[in-house]
Structure 1
Amino acid sequence: MNRAATGAQRLFLIERRKAEMENRRLLVSIGLVMLFLLSVVGTNLFFTSAIGTNATGGDAFRQIGIIAACVLLVIAQVEYPGTRPPMAIPISLAIVLGYCVLSLSWSLAPLISARRLILFGLTVWIVVRAVGDLGAVRTFNILRWTLVLLLLANFVAVYTTPLAVHSSSLGETGTTAGDWRGVFTHKNSAGPVLAITIMLFLFDRKAVPWLLCIPVILLSAYFLYKSNSKTSMLVLPPAILVGCAMLYYDPRQRFLVWAAILGALAAAAAAMLYSPTVAQIIDDPQAFTGRGRIWHVLLLYVRENPWFGAGYGAFWQIGPASPVYRLDNSWVAHNTGHGHNGYLDLIVTLGIPGMVLTVLVMLFWPTAKLLSAWQIGRQRRALLAAIIFYCALHNLSESSLLGSTPVQILLLIAVVLTHHLAAQSEGWHRDLRLRIEDRWKRLAT
């Protein structure tokens, strides 16, 4: 009788724990969707403006929304304290956040830097907590169906309101007139979301039937074409090729893959440093729809401050203190909100050491784990690799690293998921961690 009662009690506790975990996941899912929609659509639908560097104030409603998402995740943990412990922020991400905090000591606008860094830190915390609680399957499914709803909303907006299409009558530049933006603030915000939608329905789709995947992919590709988001249109095909290559990848071949990656990076670096064609493009103010002029200004500041930079988030949109006014007096100073190159923006804010650290943590270390972890499935490895590669290339023409943009949030999800999955898998990365922990214990004793 006692054994039967004890068994019934255990079964009751297990079922109760499952129900509590599902309730917690529901709250976490809502928080993740809130964060994603705030980064993708914002709080002012169809809002368009030319943001200059005098615009120091943030979006108060967006900040309140991010804080509300954090509150939901806190409630989920407090309400169900006996459930699985939340995932901790990976040490590598914590190091990057620590370096950003350190940069406040030399920031040109410490209060603005601190506010932007707090929002980025909250973004990282939400993503880590959500991915840890939801896991890969639930996280990707939530993203998929959120993106499908956004895709439908985009088409409805285009065919029901002129505000969903860029127009010179709305004070926008003639180069974007006629380009679709849907419910997004700009076509360049729509492009990455549509590209990620395509990748999510190409790889690791599990039980999602092709009869649904094909229409979503075709509609996303059509909207991407009509948006004329050139960066995403150029970057998406190689990202898909990387994903396809990962379908046939064997972790035992990782050294050959790393040799190819390092060789390609060395060739690209040599081209950037020594190619007269690249130098001409950077000096040409009209290159890449004006990006050459922006990059030229950034490189001038890098020559002056190569090691420290202006501080986290303290170059663009900080008011009269911005160095851009001293370096340039054209439209770059008055109508540009970022450098259209994530790596250059990192150098002008965190210096060369900060840029190298960020690239290692956000791109190279997750890729190393992805290539070395044995138990990560091929479809999931393909999707994660495609997203990371897409974000890495996207930052050559747009700026998203260490921000709260859609590209950075999607990259964060991929990076955190890679850490989460690699921690459960054997591989070279685990052997390296064990050796480091062993050395650390020996030094400590």
Structure 2
Amino acid sequence: MSAHLPPALDGAAIPRRRLLSAETVGFGVLVAIILLSNGWAVFSVMSGSIDVADGGDAESGDMLRQVAFLTLMVLAVGVRVVTSSVGAVNAVPPMLIAILAWCWLSVFWAIDPGLALRRIAFTTIVIVTIGQCVQMMSYRRVIEALMVGFAVILLADWLAITLLQHAVHQPGRFDDALIGDWRGIHDGKNEAGAFCALAFILFLHEAIRQRSLMSGAALVVLAAVFLGQTHSKTSMAMVAAALAVGFLVQAGYGSPRAKQAVLLLGGGILLAALIAFRDDIAREFVWMVADPASLTGRVQIWPALMTFVGDHPLLGSGYGSFWGIGAESPIQSYGSGWIIEIFSAHNGYLDILVQTGGIGLAVALLCLVVLPMHVLLNAPLAPGTSRSLICALLVFGWLRDLLESSLLDRANATWVVMVVMYCLLRRTAMPRQRAGGHASVAGPSPEPV
């Protein structure tokens, strides 16, 4: 006698249960990544052992964090292998694979191959884990995971200000001007500023989308006030520019004439701003050059790095082999004074150049800036996807890296958000409709912010 399974057990419900399970795991892992990338410095804040003015090495005490991320990757990959018909393949966008491949290749000529291998492996683990999470979730769930993680960190920042002495910058070795700037549970005021700027963009988008004071506006205010107290000029300037570009890209999508008008308008606004604020810009530039004791004296760092680039124009030092490798670090030979004690170029593009050479920088610009912007300007996105939000978060990262370093920097908090956006672009981009074809219909994404 043959038995017939009831509808609830005949397999029809199994894919849905698996999907929900995978989505739940992806959500939890992505939230954990946001918490780890932003909140790891809480231990140094509590003890007061490391302050950004002391030039703390990101590699110090990093082993536990690497183990944590490796555990998250194994969990995410394992769940996706079990629940997806395609397994864990195709989770990482090809543009990220391309730049990762060059970084891995650079290990062969790296000054410190062992350290370079560990650092690029860590970067790869972060990217692969995020890729798996994004593939297991809808666009909306990814944004919700970001919001949960950012809300927890933002509230922890405010709590730290009230409870922890070192949540506010204390006197350090380099620049007394940092004293009193808020850092919360982050490595320093610049990282805190970047986090708050990203949080401001994210929560502002949600407040407008929900039209609710409770769901987003309160968090927008908390992020904005904290950003102001960090006195991070870079983040405060870039967040406004990023929001403007995101709006312009959204407004210009879908019409070639509108796109041209938006580009002309954006260029005109930028030119007008440069002219209007030329005296302030010149004054800021002179201050940066004249301040040898400050980490903001970036233009004193850059000449030493460009001298190294002149000697190693194509291949660089190898990924992760320029800073923080001891006496063999090139900065020990090309720099002097306080410059040899820092751990980044305070320019992400220059950091990529000195580590991976001119070839690596060209690949990075193509894969991390040009191609994503091409997609944002030209490709239709899946319904419910906010073109302006993805654009604003990416543009903030691109602009910030003109004066800070986060691109391809392992579990750097800004880089983590950018990787999420790259993966979302890959997941939501749709083929254009062709004449006589049946591809998805091109058109503006439904969310205007």
Task: Give the shorter-chain TM-score range.
Answer: 0.7 to 0.9
2:19 paired residue number: 21
**1:112 counterpart residue number:** 115
In the TM superposition, what is the alpha-carbon distance from 1:85 to its structure 2 partner?
6.2
How many Å apart are 1:297 and its aligned residue? Answer: 1.4
2:35 aligned partner: 37
How far did residue 310 of structure 1 move? 0.5
CA shift for structure 1 position 91: 1.9
CA distance in 1, matches of 2:301, 2:108: 26
Determine the structure 2 residue equivalent to 1:409.
416
Match of 1:178 in 2: 180
Alpha-carbon separation, structure 1, partners of 2:137 and 2:111: 39
Equivalent in the alignment of 1:192? 194
Unmatched tracts of structure 2, length 5 or more: 272-281, 438-449
User: Which residue identity is paired with 2:421?
Assistant: A
Match of 2:332 among 298, 303, 325: 325
Q: 1:392 Cα shift?
A: 0.7
Do structure 1's residue 250 and structure 2's residue 248 form an aligned pair? no
Alpha-carbon RMSD: 3.3
1:187-237 Cα deviation digits (max 9, x unpaired):
111111111111112226644724432211111100000111111011111
**Is 1:349 aligned to 2:355, yes or no?**
yes
Q: Map of 1:13-412 to 2, 5 A cutoff?
A: 13-42=11-40, 44-45=42-43, 46=45, 48-49=50-51, 57=60, 59-80=62-83, 87-168=90-171, 173-203=175-205, 206-207=209-210, 209-253=212-256, 256=260, 284=289, 286=291, 289-334=296-341, 336-376=342-382, 380-403=386-409, 404-412=411-419
Counterpart-to-counterpart distance in 1, 2:158 and 2:198: 17
Partners in 2 of 1:214 and 1:250 — Cα distance? Answer: 27
Q: Which moved more, 1:221-230 or 1:204-213?
A: 204-213
Question: Which whole-Å CA distance do the structure 2 matches of 1:259 and 1:304 have between them?
Answer: 38
Between the aligned partners of 2:264 and 2:133, the Cα distance in structure 1 is 34
Measured in 2, the distance between the counterparts of 1:230 and 1:427 equals 44
TM-score (norm 2): 0.83
**Residues 17 and 83, structure 1, Cα contact 8 Å, conserved in 2:** no
SS at match of 1:339: coil
Instruction: Using the aligned pairs only, state the percent identity.
Output: 27
DSSP 3-state at the match of 2:252: coil
* SS state at 1:203 partner: helix
> How far does residue 32 in structure 1 lie from its aligned partner after superposition?
1.7
Kept after mapping to 2: 8 A contact 1:55/1:318 = no
Residue of structure 2 in register with 1:442 after alignment: none
Say whether the 8 Å CA contact 1:249–1:378 is kept in structure 2.
Answer: no
CA deviations over 1:330-387 (Å, ceiling 9, x no partner):
00102x1100000111111111121111011011101111111224568700101111
- CA–CA distance in structure 2, aligned partners of residues 285 and 109 of structure 1: 34
**Equivalent AA in structure 2 for residue 396 of structure 1:** L
CA distance in 2, matches of 1:127, 1:177: 36
Q: CA deviation at 1:53?
A: 9.0
Shift of 1:401: 0.8
Work out the CA distance in 1 between the residues paired with 2:59 and 2:40: 17
Aligned residues: 414
Q: Retained in 2: the 8 A contact 1:285–1:291?
A: no
Q: 1:192 touches 1:407 (CA, 8 Å); kept in 2?
A: yes
TM-score by length of 1: 0.83
Q: 1: CA distance between counterparts of 2:131 and 2:388?
A: 21
